[in-house]
Amino acid sequence: MSLQQAKNYLKQFNREQDIIEFDVSSATVELAAKALNCAPERIAKTLSFKINERAILIVTAGDVKIDNRKYKETFKTKAKMLARDEVLPIIGHDIGGVCPFGVNPDVTIYLDESLKRFQTVFPACGNSNSAIELTIDELSSYIKAEWIDVCKTI
C-alpha cells in the first residue's frame, strides 16, 4: 500500500514511472547504497520524530545523524523518534520505506541542509525495496518542505 501511496503522490509530477523497485532490500542506508551502486551519503534517509503530539519527518543525507543541540535549538524540544509501532499509522509508511511522498496529511516534512551538497539523491518510495533519483531542486519542489540544519557528520 505505501509504495502505491508514493506512486500516486509522484504521479502529479509525472515521475511515478521513475521509481526503481529492487529484488533486494533497500531498508537501510547501506542496503540502499548497495542496491543502487552509489555512495551511502547520497541516500536520502527519512527520519520520523514526535514533537508533543505532532509528527515530523526530516530528510537527511545518508552519512549524517541528528545533532541533539541543533535539533533542540530548531524545535525547542529534545529529539524523540517515533516508536516502531507508531510509524506506519502516524506517517503512512513503515520503517524501511519511510519517505516524504504520500504521507498522512498532518505530518510536517523538513529537508536537512546536509542534502544540498549533492546534485541528486535517492529517497525511498514507501517500501523497503524502492527508491527514486531526484535532483535536490526536484525533491524540494515536490514536497515543499522547509530547509533546516539539524545534523552532524557521523
pLDDT tens readout for residues 80-117 = 999 999 999 999 999 999 999 999 999 999 999 999 99
**Alpha carbons 44 and 53: distance in angstroms, whole number:** 25
> What pTM value is reported for the model?
0.96
| pLDDT(125) > 70 | yes
pLDDT at 108: 97
| pLDDT recorded at residue 1 | 61
Report the pLDDT averaged over residues 48-74: 97
Dist. CA 111–CA 16, nearest whole Å:
21
SS3 sequence, 7-56?
Answer: HHHHHCCCCHHHCEECCCCCCCHHHHHHHHCCCHHHEEEEEEEEECCEEE
Radius of gyration (C-alpha) of the chain in whole angstroms: 14
In the chain, where the domains are located: 1-151
For domain 1-151, is the CATH number 3.90.960.10? Answer: yes
